[in-house]
């Protein structure tokens, strides 16, 4: 009986001790919690397109230390995990830093931090491991627009090409702070040097502003109201002094006067914007100018490198793109960068492709608070696409210049290259007869200064140069001596090169056709049956002529007998008066002196005329039968 009792007591003691041990463990556990979430400590803002710093404070509110647990960051679909491998003692806190969150869009986001995200630690409170914070992602406007989903400084005018140049000036304009009243600025012909009789290709007026949004001023140019063709804006995008910066562009080509110009800008009531000096950019064409190609690129890009704002020099860079550039026959190239407020020495740089140049402070004009910086980019220019970079540069002081990039103009000048001739020629007759002279005419373009003609055959035998011309004359005269087909080649040359023109069987020479003339009479036997003394006996017939292949022809009439020539005779007895021959009823003439010209002409073809015979009859004429034979003879040359 005693033995059994001992065993029972032992069991009871063991059970009680076990319960006491379990109760002690439950009371001494860690309690991990996220107490605070902060972002980017120097700004307290999240930024798009860059890694952000997110810090979470982790506290152990329990009674025991915690070791080997995860801390997870979630922002939308983004996750990042850190691991704690050392003790976090009871009553202690630590800061966990996440540096890789780089959002691509702006707007509100929920940051969620979970401690012991894998559930590895047994805690006294398992419901307080998560903390959320709603934050907003901003664009950091001090970066170039490539980093804020904006536009580069792209070509908005041109490229223009020809015998052109550009001129630009702020005139007498000045910077004016908020509250300014109407301002009038002017440009003299000395501000914008343009040759007389030049053609204005483009005229652009630029007005920059700051410290206000959507200005509603009125702009007149040479008394004419003008409206913007473009407005470019940028802004810091976060925190204090988040003021817009803008550039308004006007096309004033119709109003522009090379002799002088003026503008008046009138603000809306209660205006709160400041304005920079205005400036004109003009492209003109004139025969005295070199061959050039000009691009004008416009934008507005706020830039400032700043270590406290997480902006590197590379990020504080604006890009100007130029497409379709050719370096053929390149004489020179220059880029003109236009900026506002770029005045800090050593805190800016300009790049063209891979080449670096001095920044913009040397060209800053404090009156309008803008500057025109001109760079020789000849050695940096590439065929195809080119990129200029305008950079706010941090040399180690912690920040670069706070400046505003607005325009880059690229001017590519070509060598005076003389294009070679484009050879051509003509002839005044390509089907001459043997012995005829052909005049060749040079029709080549691009002003050749020497010529060489080649004609198939042998000079002097088949053809010959005449009229003091030769095979090196610009417009030779060639007489062809033999029938045949002749190929002709002309080589024309100038300082730019040579070109030839070959024309096969260009001249076809034929033997000259023989001139011919045919004479026929409508009636070859005429009777004068009214032979009455004191009257004229008459008769007529047609004379028909067919003339061809000649330059002129004639018909002569004659009486072939020797005694009594030109008289009608009966046997050997003539009439008292000679017979008379007329044409078409007029122009009567006698034949006793020999052949007479009855008819002549220079036209070829078929013709008819009337031959009129008139015989005056005398009372002394003896009765009898009289006759005369008149012969019509044609000749042609």
Please state, in angstroms and rounded to a whole number, the distance separating the CA atoms of residues 531 and 616: 8
Task: Find, among 597, 566, 588, the residue nearest to 579 by Cα.
Answer: 566
Query: Is 27 a residue whose pLDDT tops 70?
Result: no
Walk me through the domains of the chain, giving residue ranges and CATH numbers: 32-138 (2.60.40.10), 147-414 (2.60.120.1200), 425-509 (2.60.40.10), 516-636 (2.60.40.1090)
Evaluate the CA torsion angle 376, 382, 386, 388 in order and state its sign. negative
Taking only the tens place, the pLDDT of each residue in 519-560 is 999 999 999 878 899 999 999 999 999 999 999 999 999 998
- Per the CB < 8 A criterion, the answer to whether 602 and 551 are in contact is yes
Q: What is the pLDDT of residue 241?
A: 84
Mean pLDDT of 290-319: 96
Q: What is the pLDDT of residue 506?
A: 97
Query: Is 39 a residue whose pLDDT tops 80?
Result: yes
Which residue's entry shows tokens 């329990």? 62
For the chain, give the mean pLDDT: 93
Mean pLDDT of 96-117: 97
- Per the CB < 8 A criterion, the answer to whether 82 and 96 are in contact is yes
> Could you give the percent of the chain with pLDDT greater than 90?
90
Cα angle, residue 130 at apex, residues 78 and 139 outer, rounded to 5°: 40
- Per the CB < 8 A criterion, the answer to whether 512 and 483 are in contact is no
- Per the CB < 8 A criterion, the answer to whether 53 and 97 are in contact is yes
Q: What is the pLDDT of residue 511?
A: 85
Q: How far is CA 246 from CA 14, 94, 300, 301, 365, in A?
A: 85, 46, 6, 9, 19
3 state SS of 387: strand
- pLDDT class of 213 with cuts at 50, 70, 90: confident
Whether the model pTM is above 0.85: no
Contacts of 547 (CB under 8 A, 6+ apart): 515, 516, 517, 518, 553, 601, 603, 604, 605, 607, 634, 636
What dihedral angle (degrees, nearest 10) is formed by the CA atoms of 468, 473, 474, 478? Answer: 60
Query: Is 287 a residue whose pLDDT tops 90?
Result: yes
Task: Give the CB-side neighbour count of residue 112, counting CA atoms within 13 A.
Answer: 12
3 state SS of 75: strand
Taking only the tens place, the pLDDT of each residue in 374-405 is 999 999 999 999 999 999 999 999 999 999 99
Query: Is 1 a residue whose pLDDT tops 90?
Result: no
Mean pLDDT of 193-214: 94
State the pairing for strand pair 130-138/46-47: parallel
Question: What φ, ψ does residue 572 adopt, rounded to 5°?
Answer: -110, 10
Query: Is 518 a residue whose pLDDT tops 70?
Result: yes
Contacts 24+ apart (CB under 8 A), 521-525: 521/611, 521/632
Taking only the tens place, the pLDDT of each residue in 572-628 is 999 999 999 999 999 999 999 999 999 999 999 999 999 999 999 999 999 999 999
Q: Report the b/e string of 305-319 with b at 16+ CB within 10 A.
A: bbeebbbbbebbbbb
Taking only the tens place, the pLDDT of each residue in 109-166 is 999 999 999 999 999 999 999 999 999 999 999 999 999 999 999 999 999 999 999 9
- Per the CB < 8 A criterion, the answer to whether 80 and 72 are in contact is yes
Q: What is the pLDDT of residue 243?
A: 84
Q: What is the pLDDT of residue 242?
A: 87
């Amino acid at each position: 009986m005693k033995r059994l009792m001992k065993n029972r007591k032992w069991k009871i003691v063991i059970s009680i001790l076990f319960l006491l041990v379990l109760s002690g463990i439950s009371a001494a556990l860690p309690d991990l919690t996220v107490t605070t979430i902060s972002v980017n400590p120097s700004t307290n803002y999240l930024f798009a397109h860059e890694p952000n710093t997110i810090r979470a404070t982790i506290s152990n509110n329990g009674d025991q230390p915690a070791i080997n647990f995860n801390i997870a960051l979630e922002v939308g679909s983004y996750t990042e995990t850190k691991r704690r491998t050392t003790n976090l003692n009871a009553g202690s806190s630590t800061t966990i830093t996440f540096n890789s969150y780089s959002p691509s869009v702006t707007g509100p986001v929920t940051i969620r931090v979970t401690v012991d995200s894998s559930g590895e630690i047994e805690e006294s409170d398992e419901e307080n491991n998560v903390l959320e914070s709603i934050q907003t992602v901003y664009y950091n406007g001090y970066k170039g627009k490539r980093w804020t989903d904006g536009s580069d400084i792209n070509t908005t005018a041109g490229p223009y090409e020809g015998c052109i140049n550009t001129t630009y000036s702020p005139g007498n304009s000045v910077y004016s702070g908020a509250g300014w009243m109407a301002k009038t600025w002017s440009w003299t012909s000395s501000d914008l040097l343009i040759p007389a009789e030049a053609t204005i290709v483009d005229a652009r007026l630029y007005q920059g502003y700051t410290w206000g949004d959507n200005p509603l001023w009125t702009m007149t140019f040479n008394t004419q109201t003008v409206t913007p063709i473009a407005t470019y804006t940028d802004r810091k995008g976060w925190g204090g002094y988040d003021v817009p910066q803008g550039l308004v562009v006007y096309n004033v080509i119709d109003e522009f006067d090379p002799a002088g110009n003026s503008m008046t800008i009138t603000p809306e009531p209660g205006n709160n914007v400041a304005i920079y000096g205005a400036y004109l950019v003009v492209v003109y064409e004139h025969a005295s100018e070199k061959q050039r190609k000009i691009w004008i690129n416009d934008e507005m890009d706020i830039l400032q490198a700043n270590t406290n704002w997480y902006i590197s020099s590379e990020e504080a860079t604006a890009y100007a793109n130029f497409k379709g550039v050719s370096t053929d026959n390149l004489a020179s190239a220059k880029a003109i960068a236009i900026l506002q407020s770029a005045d800090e020495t050593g805190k800016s740089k300009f790049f063209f492709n891979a080449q670096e140049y001095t920044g913009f402070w040397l060209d800053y004009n404090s009156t309008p608070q803008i500057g025109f910086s001109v760079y020789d980019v000849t050695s940096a220019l590439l065929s195809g696409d080119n990129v200029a970079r305008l950079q706010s540069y941090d040399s180690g002081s912690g920040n670069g210049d706070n400046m505003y990039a607005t325009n880059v103009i690229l001017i590519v000048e070509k060598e005076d290259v003389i294009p070679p001739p484009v050879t051509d020629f003509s002839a005044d007759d390509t089907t001459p007869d043997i012995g005829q002279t052909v005049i060749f005419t040079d029709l080549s373009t691009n002003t050749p200064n020497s010529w060489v003609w080649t004609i198939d055959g042998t000079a002097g035998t088949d053809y010959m140069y005449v009229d003091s011309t030769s095979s090196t004359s610009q417009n030779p005269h060639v007489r062809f001596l033999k029938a045949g087909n002749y190929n002709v080649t002309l080589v024309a040359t100038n300082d730019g090169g040579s070109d030839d023109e070959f024309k096969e069987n260009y001249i076809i020479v034929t033997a000259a056709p023989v001139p011919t003339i045919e004479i026929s009479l409508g009636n070859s036997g005429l009777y004068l049956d009214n032979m009455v003394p004191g009257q004229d006996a008459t008769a007529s017939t047609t004379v028909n002529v067919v003339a061809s292949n000649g330059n002129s022809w004639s018909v002569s009439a004659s009486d072939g007998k020797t005694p009594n020539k030109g008289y009608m005779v009966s046997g050997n007895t003539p009439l008292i008066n000679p017979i008379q021959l007329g044409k078409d009823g007029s122009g009567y003439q006698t034949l006793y002196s020999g052949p007479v010209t009855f008819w002549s002409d220079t036209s070829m073809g078929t013709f008819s005329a009337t031959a009129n015979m008139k015989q005056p009859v005398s009372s002394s004429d003896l009765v009898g039968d009289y006759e005369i034979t008149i012969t019509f003879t044609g000749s042609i040359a």
